[in-house]
Homo-oligomer: A and B are copies of this chain.
């Protein structure tokens, strides 16, 4: 398990990623079979941003952001940088300067299972960030890690080149090979939801719309007064 930087990683199709981004995290997560959600521990530092990109991954040592610098070079327009650490870490591994560097390359945002700082400046720049913490605690640049290896975040596996969608609900990862099929499924779900929404708004109950009354009775549920 040598420290490596993998270059020339194939990316999920950009047009597909952009369309997945429009559909949003919850819809995409359902469309891939309720999978890939990176957990409620990753929160946006801003409200109302919905974006998507292809993953460049960085695996850092706790308290050390050296590999984020190494990862920047691997990023290209349309990517989203995904960072984690080999041990749990809340330090402020990322701030305004790194965001400036990423923005200059056309990177869409940052997903980090650690802390970020300069959040006022990042919000002002419009650079989207989803993080596990906000922390001004600084880091060193001493210990090598890896770039563009598979990483584990929030109980999910993220591989370089996967599609990453992020909005106010958090972050979801769609495996590169499933991106197109997921887009199809997500669109069907979206179309289907408009119809459901109208019914529910008119007063139809989910109990009836989803035909739950019978299984509930079969499960022994009783109504009492």
Contacts and interface: CB of A to CB of B under 8 A. Distances in A.
Contacts of A191: none
A84 B152 CA distance: 14
B86 A88 contact: no
Interface string A64-102: 101001101100000000001011111110011110110
B118 A26 contact: yes
A206 B72 contact: yes
A212 B26 contact: no
A139 to B, nearest CB: 8
Interface residues of A, number: 100
Contacts of A97: 193, 196-197, 200, 206
A120 interface: yes
Interface in A51-74: 61-64, 66, 69-70, 72-73
List the 4 closest pairs (A to B, CB-CB), nearest first: A152-B152, A40-B135, A69-B206, A62-B63
Given A1-B175, A97-B196, 9 more contacts: A6-B224, A66-B216, A100-B197, A101-B206, A120-B167, A120-B168, A134-B168, A142-B142, A152-B152
